[in-house]
Structure formats: C-alpha cells, structure tokens
C-alpha cells in the first residue's frame, strides 16, 4: 500500500453553522419557556396569595425585618409617618394589617411594602415631601399594595424563579443570571399594573381621609421635572412613567368626582435632614 | 441593568475575540499542515522495515491548550438545556487536536514517519462547583522513525 499525502478538502469534525444564530435560537427558546412558566405561576399566585393568613405572613416577615440593619422605628420622624398612616387606617381603610413604619437613612427616593405590614420609607423621600396630603398619598399607595397583596406576589414569583433556575442550571450560573435579567423586565410589567391599582386605592383613601384629593399628584409632578428617564428608562422603570401616572390620577379623580382643596402643612420634622 | 451590560459585553468580547483568534489559528494550522504533508503520522504499531535501515527511533509528542471563550460557553450552557450536538465546542476540539499533532510533527521534523500515534484529551482549569472557564488540552504522541538516507 502506498501512502499518499493529501490535505482533506472538507473538515467533517466542525459543523459549518452560524454560532450567533444558534445562540439566538437557544436563548429565545429558554426565555420563552421560562417566561411561560413564570406567567402561569403569576396566575397561580394570584389565586393562592389572597388565602395566605395574615398571622403566617407576619411570621414569615419576622426574620428578614430583624436582619435589616439601620432601620429605625422609634425616632420622631418615623413616629410622625406612623401616626399619619394610623390616621388613614382609622378614617378610611380598616385593613387587617398592623402597619409598622421603618425609616431607612438613604438618599433613595422610595418606599417599599414588605410582608407583614412592614413599610420601609427611605429618608430621601421624606426630604422631598411638601405637604401632609402628599405624604398621605404615598403611604396610602403602599397600603394599596397590601390590599392587593402585591408584596407577597412579587416575593413568591422571585422565589419560584430562583428555584427553577437553580434546578435547571445549578446555583450561581451565568446563564441563570442572564435569564434572571430578562425576567426582571417581565416582572416590571406585572408591577406596573399593580402600581396603577395601588394608585387608585390611594386616591380613594385620600378622599376618605381628607374629603378631597389635593396633593395626590404633587410628588410625581416633582419627580417628572427632575428625572429624565431617557430612551431606556421607560422599559426599566417599575413605576409607570410619571406623566402617564399623573394623567391617570387626574382622570380617575375627575370620573369619581374627587375635588382638590387646600393642603395641610407637613410637620417640620419630616423635612429635616439627618445631622451629618 | 448593570449586570446585563456586563454579560452582554462579555458575550460580545467573547464572540469577536474568539472568532478572530479562531480564524487566525485555522490559517496557521492549514499552512503548517501543508508544510508537514510529507511526514506521515499513522496509527499502526509495526511497519515492515529492515532493522538495519532504521537509524533512530524515538518518542515525539506535542500538546496544545485551547480556552473556551465566553460566547461559546454561553451557547454550550444553553445547549445543555435542550440537548443535541454542542457545535460551539467542535471547532475547539478540532483545533486542539490538530495543533497537538502539528507540534508533534515539528518535534520530529527530520523523521521519515511517525508511527503508533495516539491523542489524549483532557480538560484543565476547571474546578468542580466553581465558576471558571474550562480549557481543553490535547496531547499527541507517537514513535518517530528515522531511516538511513
């Protein structure tokens, strides 16, 4: 047998394929499946969550409220917000929750509804407040989340996603992280709807407490002047774009015949900055 | 949002750099394969040659380590979910083995032939349960036969 040297014409060991195309096909497949499961679970949670007893929720919330460092509930500032919340509770919405307000020293302009009636208010938000009605609207908005039990739904979905991802891909996998981000965007679509419902509850609460809805949109008007969300901001923001939100508030008030009257002053302590 | 930017950047860098490196490597492999075309590397153990004609016989070997890029790793990770041929790793193994064979041939450039050629493959730099990019090592070895001219 004679050995004839030659170079093979084709490489049979490497499939001639576009790796980018494969990447997009696979990625969209996985995203479609996970988003599908996630949406189904979202619906399932809507059925389960209203049946979770309040006592169980309190118990569940205990550990992570205690683990949150630098929250304060006893300062005068926190107590003032607490009192305002209690007034709304008493005059308008007797919810089956015992609300506790925590103050967190942070420049973030936000408030968060955590399980068990625990509301965390960031000090950056309080510094922007100009009237009692404005603050009452924000607190009532957070209460609105408890009415719909949005806080539990969010926690439930996050938990389910982490479990699916860990089972499929193992903990801390880079593919898992990629999927988590795409789901974040889906989650935001969920919560945009929740925000609108909470806003509507807050308007009713404000009307029930003060007899008018003055000051309800003040906060968002302020924000819309300050923050330019940019091209991408719209997709990545949990709260519906401020202008749309203001329009919805005005519209809802008009339909329900809520008037706007003069505002009440805010206690001085609320705007006070933390001593540096 | 920030994490997404980091991941997209890594995937893009992996794709661009990985593709460029692969193209360049293949050009180099094909060039050297043509140069070594006259040096047969075969898998048979025994050749029918008169012992007196054999000047020298010695072991020759060549190894190459090729790393996975981030893009290939992500594609393979997604492929792990659905199953099927992991096409993104095919070129990696192909390059590692051909490079190892070429280095083995370079070690025996004066030989008449290399017999009993074997190729071993292993992964290195991959710790279990830890996030790390795996590398592929191919190691080729054989017996170089030098005949009297």
What domains appear along chain B, each with residue ranges and CATH number? 2-147 (3.30.110.70)
Structure tokens at B64: 């190459």
Under an 8 A CB cutoff, do B78 and A30 touch? yes
A83-101 tens-digit pLDDT: 888 888 888 767 777 788 8
Nearest-by-CA chain A residue for B92: A14
Contact in structure between A63 and A118 (CB atoms under 8 Å): no
| CB-based contact, A23 to chain B, within 8 Å | yes
How distant is the alpha carbon of residue A254 from its chain centre?
Answer: 27
What does the DSSP assignment read for B66-109? Answer: EEPPHHHHHHHHHHHHH-S--HHHHHHHHHHHHHHHHHHHHHTT
Q: Over 80: is that where the pLDDT of A176 sits? A: no
Active site residue A241: no
- Provide the residue count of chain B: 149
Under an 8 A CB cutoff, do B81 and A174 touch? no
Query: Which 3 state secondary structure label does DSSP give A225?
Result: helix
Nearest-by-CA chain B residue for A184: B1
ipTM for the predicted complex? 0.77
Q: What percent of chain A has pLDDT over 70?
A: 78
For residue A178, the chain B residues in CB contact (below 8 A) are 4, 7, 74
Interfacial A residues in 95-134 facing B (CB < 8 Å): none
pLDDT band of A1, cuts 50, 70, 90: low
From the list A6, A14, A175, the residue facing B74 with the nearest CB is: A175
Report the C-alpha gap between A194 and A147 in whole angstroms: 11
Residue A146's pLDDT is what? 84
Nearest-by-CA chain A residue for B88: A19
B101-145 tens-digit pLDDT: 999 999 998 999 999 999 999 988 766 655 556 788 999 999 999
For residue B77, the chain A residues in CB contact (below 8 A) are 169, 173-175
Under an 8 A CB cutoff, do B74 and A174 touch? yes
Report the C-alpha gap between A111 and A57 in whole angstroms: 19
From the list B38, B40, B88, the residue facing A19 with the nearest CB is: B88
Tell me the Cα Rg of chain B.
20
Residues 6+ apart with CB under 8 A from A122: A104, A106, A107, A108, A109, A110, A111
Nearest 5°: the CA angle B115, B116, B119 is 120
Structure tokens at A117: 């009636």
Phi, psi of A68 (to 5 degrees): -75, 115
Q: Over 70: is that where the pLDDT of A273 sits? A: no
From the list B30, B78, B93, the residue facing A27 with the nearest CB is: B78
Chain B positions touching chain A (beta carbons under 8 Å): 1, 3-4, 7, 15, 30, 33-34, 37-38, 40, 42, 71-75, 77-79, 81-82, 85, 87-88, 90-91, 93-94, 131
Residue A96's pLDDT is what? 76
Averaged over A118-139, what is the pLDDT? 84
For residue A173, the chain B residues in CB contact (below 8 A) are 77
| CB-based contact, A27 to chain B, within 8 Å | yes
Interface residue of B20, B75, B134 to substitute, partner A, most A CBs within 10 Å: B75
- A57, A142, A187, A195: the catalytic one is A142
From the list B1, B34, B77, the residue facing A175 with the nearest CB is: B77
Mean pLDDT of chain B: 89
From the list A5, A19, A236, the residue facing B38 with the nearest CB is: A5
Contact in structure between A116 and A250 (CB atoms under 8 Å): no
Interface residue of A181, A229, A232 to substitute, partner B, most B CBs within 10 Å: A181
| This prediction's pTM | 0.59
| CB-based contact, A17 to chain B, within 8 Å | yes
Q: Domain map of chain A by residue range?
A: 22-271
> A47-56, A66-75, A201-210, B105-114: which range is least confident on average?
A66-75
Q: Kind of pairing, strands B113-124 and A71-72?
A: unpaired
Under an 8 A CB cutoff, do A15 and B87 touch? yes
From the list B4, B88, B131, the residue facing A172 with the nearest CB is: B131
Residue A235's pLDDT is what? 47
């Amino acid at each position: 047998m004679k050995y004839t040297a030659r170079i093979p014409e084709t490489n049979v060991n490497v499939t001639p394929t576009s790796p980018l195309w494969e990447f997009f096909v696979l990625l969209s497949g996985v995203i479609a499946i996970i988003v599908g499961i996630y949406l189904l679970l979202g619906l399932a949670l809507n059925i389960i969550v209203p049946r979770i007893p309040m006592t169980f929720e309190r118990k569940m919330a205990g550990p992570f409220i205690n683990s949150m460092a630098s929250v304060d509930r006893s300062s005068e500032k926190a107590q003032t917000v607490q009192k305002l919340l209690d007034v709304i509770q008493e005059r308008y919405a007797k919810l089956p929750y015992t609300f506790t307000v925590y103050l967190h020293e942070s420049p973030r302009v936000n408030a968060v509804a955590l399980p068990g009636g625990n509301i965390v208010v960031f000090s950056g938000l309080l510094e922007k407040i100009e009237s009692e009605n404005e603050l009452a609207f924000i607190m009532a908005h957070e209460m609105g989340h408890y009415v719909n039990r949005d806080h539990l739904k969010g926690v439930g979905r996050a938990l389910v996603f982490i479990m699916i991802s860990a089972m499929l891909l193992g903990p801390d996998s880079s593919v898992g992280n990629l999927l988590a981000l795409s789901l974040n965007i889906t989650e935001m679509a969920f919560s945009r709807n929740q925000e609108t419902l909470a806003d509507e509850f807050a308007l009713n609460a404000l009307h029930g407490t003060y007899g008018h809805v003055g000051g309800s949109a003040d906060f968002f008007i302020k924000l819309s002047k300050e923050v330019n969300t940019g091209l991408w901001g719209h997709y990545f923001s949990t709260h519906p774009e401020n202008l749309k939100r203001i329009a919805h508030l005005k519209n809802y008030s008009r339909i329900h015949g809520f008037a706007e009257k003069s505002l009440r002053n805010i206690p001085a302590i609320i705007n006070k900055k933390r001593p540096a | 949002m920030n994490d997404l930017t980091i991941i997209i950047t890594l995937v893009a860098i992996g794709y661009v750099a990985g593709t460029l490196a692969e193209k360049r490597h293949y050009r180099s492999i094909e060039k050297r394969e043509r140069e070594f075309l006259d040096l047969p590397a075969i898998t048979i153990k025994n050749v029918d040659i008169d012992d007196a004609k054999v000047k020298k016989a010695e072991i020759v070997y060549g190894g190459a380590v090729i790393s996975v890029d981030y893009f290939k790793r992500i594609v393979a990770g997604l492929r792990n979910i659905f199953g099927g041929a992991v096409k993104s790793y095919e070129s990696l193994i192909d390059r590692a083995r051909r490079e190892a064979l070429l280095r083995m041939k370079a070690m025996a450039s004066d030989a008449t032939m290399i017999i009993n050629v074997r190729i071993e493959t292993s992964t290195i730099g991959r710790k279990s349960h830890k996030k790390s990019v795996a590398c592929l090592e191919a190691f080729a070895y054989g017996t170089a036969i030098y005949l009297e001219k």
